[in-house]
């Protein structure tokens, strides 16, 4: 793998500013790698490689004109963006066939901030249909493959981001997370991902649009191959944008000021409902041991309320969402009948994927089956309070990212609730960082979620940096060497 593909965005930007390398060299290396391997991965679904190379040349000219002190933070560094987030001139379908001809006339505010900071966008990446399944597959672009094993999933819905960053073809990217959509792809593809505290980063320009209570559940955030990029990216993206009225929470702290020895680590080994693969459990224990060696106080705990994670997430989504999922599926034509779509799907005639249809049916059944929504909303609030009190200001928790390393394509349909290990994090509204912890005996990424109380983004990122120093972080996939 080209040496430039092994560096962080921060390191690349520094070398570009110091004229050790040119932006053209950096972007060319990433474009060449993407052109070689993306056909197998199907991660970037619409590219702007030629435009990116021209922008790299312009970045080099600007640096020569104004000098290193007058160029922005990520000057000349390439990146990618989840397709469900607006990028000027690019498609914005969120995997919905009825939106396949849309092209955006402006950037989302987060994308605009990345460009203003000097980032050069290589392309947009694949998602699940309407961002609501753990496989990044849809009838617009097809299925995305895992760089460590093409037969395995990349997670959803920011799966294209996870795959292309995990492959080495992008140093960082932008995703969004409503049930694990940043953390799950980061886990399956062996990279870092951060779900920030709710309402620190604006969700403007994302489709589907987060409405009502979902503004606290959906969070926009970064994925990257090196932990040192997490905090600069969160700091860059954070803050009101004048469009998202809910983006009001102020980012505080600094990972550089966090002392691991001052922390209490609470390790939660499972949710009491779904068993966790022994290798994942062992990796989490090694992470706990590593933090203990760094001086942290460690404790193992079980949280009884986590057994209801699916019900808590479902009740939160149902209470917060003003637009029925079947209406989103239908777009401008109005709500679809999921039962009709199921029949059409069985004959290969539906424009929708089976997971989307199944979700539509599940939504319809909620009107007939008692779900105890008020009960579970109260339980969700009680869980937030319980964990906030347990953690305190200097506490973090370790929690499995999934039940097992990346499964084979379509296998999640046989175990459709495994994603609740990440989804409950959205119910908590806490910052959670996904951290890679090496590879399994089958060469698949292992990892763990690191969470803390609302506002402690700097703490979880500091722990991610510490664990990267111990375990090595992202390991380039041999599948692509």
Q: Which residue, among 350, 323, 348, has the nearest Cα to 338 in the 3D structure?
A: 350
The angle formed by the CA atoms of residues 92, 96 and 98, to the nearest 5 degrees, is 95
Cα dihedral across residues 116, 117, 123, 128: positive or negative: negative
Contacts of 299 (CB under 8 A, 6+ apart): 264, 265, 266, 267
* Plot region of 453 (φ>0 → left; ψ -120 to 50 → alpha; else → beta): beta
**Pairing of the two strands 44-47 and 120-125:** antiparallel
Continuous segment of H or E residues that includes residue 34: helix 23-41
Which alpha helices (DSSP H) does 276-372 contain, by range?
278-293, 309-320, 325-330, 338-346, 354-365
Taking every pair of Cα atoms in the chain, the longest distance, rounded to a whole number of angstroms, is: 67
- Sort 5 into a burial class: Cβ within 10 Å, 0-12 / 13-18 / 19+: buried
Neighbours of 66 (CB within 10 A): 10
Inter-residue contact 189 to 436 (CB < 8 Å): no
Contacts of 109 (CB under 8 A, 6+ apart): 202, 204, 205, 241, 242, 243, 244
Residues listed for the chain = 481
Q: Which residue has the tokens 């819905």?
A: 157
Whether residue 108 is preceded by a cis peptide bond, meaning omega within 30 degrees of 0, is no
Residues acting as catalytic residues: 82, 157, 181
């Amino acid at each position: 793998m080209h040496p430039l593909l092994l560096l962080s965005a921060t390191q690349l930007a520094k070398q570009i500013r110091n004229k050790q390398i040119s932006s053209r060299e950096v972007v060319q290396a990433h474009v060449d790698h993407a052109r070689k391997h993306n056909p197998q991965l199907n991660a970037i679904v619409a590219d702007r490689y030629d435009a990116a190379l021209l922008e790299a040349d312009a970045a080099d000219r600007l640096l020569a004109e104004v000098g290193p002190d007058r160029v922005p933070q990520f000057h000349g560094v390439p990146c990618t963006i989840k397709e469900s987030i607006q990028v000027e001139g690019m498609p914005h379908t969120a995997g919905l066939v009825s939106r396949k001809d849309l092209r955006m006339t402006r950037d989302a505010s987060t994308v605009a901030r990345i460009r203003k900071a000097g980032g050069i966008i290589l392309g947009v990446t694949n998602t699940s249909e309407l961002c609501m399944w753990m496989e990044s597959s849809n009838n617009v672009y097809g299925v995305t493959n895992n760089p460590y094993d093409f037969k395995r999933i990349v997670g959803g819905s920011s799966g294209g981001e996870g795959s292309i960053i995990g492959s080495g073809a992008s140093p960082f990217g932008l995703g969004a997370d409503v049930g694990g959509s940043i953390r799950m792809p980061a886990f399956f593809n062996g990279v870092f991902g951060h779900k920030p505290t709710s309402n620190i980063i604006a969700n403007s320009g994302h489709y589907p649009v987060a409405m009502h209570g979902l503004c606290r559940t959906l969070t926009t955030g970064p994925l990257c191959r090196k932990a040192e990029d997490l905090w600069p990216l969160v700091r860059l993206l954070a803050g009101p944008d004048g469009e998202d009225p809910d983006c009001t929470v102020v980012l505080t702290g600094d990972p550089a000021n966090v002392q691991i020895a001052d922390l209490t680590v609470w390790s939660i080994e499972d949710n009491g409902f779904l068993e966790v693969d022994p290798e994942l459990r062992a990796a989490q224990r090694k992470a706990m041991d590593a933090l203990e060696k760094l001086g942290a106080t460690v404790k193992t705990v079980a949280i009884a309320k986590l057994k209801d994670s699916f019900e808590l997430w479902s009740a939160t989504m149902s209470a917060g969402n003003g637009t029925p999922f079947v209406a989103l599926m239908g777009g401008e034509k109005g709500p679809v009948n999921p039962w009709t779509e199921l029949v059409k799907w069985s004959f290969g005639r539906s424009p929708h994927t089976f997971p989307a249809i199944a979700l539509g049916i599940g939504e319809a059944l909620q009107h007939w089956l008692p779900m105890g929504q008020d009960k579970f909303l109260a339980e969700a609030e009680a869980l937030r309070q319980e964990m906030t009190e347990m953690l305190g200001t200097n506490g973090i928790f370790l929690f499995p990212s999934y039940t097992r390393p990346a499964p084979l394509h379509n296998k999640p349909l046989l175990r459709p609730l495994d994603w609740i290990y990440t989804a409950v994090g959205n119910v908590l509204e806490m910052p959670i960082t996904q951290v890679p912890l090496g590879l399994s005996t089958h060469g698949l990424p292992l990892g763990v979620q690191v969470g803390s109380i609302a506002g402690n983004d700097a703490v979880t990122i500091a722990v991610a940096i510490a664990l990267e120093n111990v375990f090595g972080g992202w390991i380039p996939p041999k599948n692509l060497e």
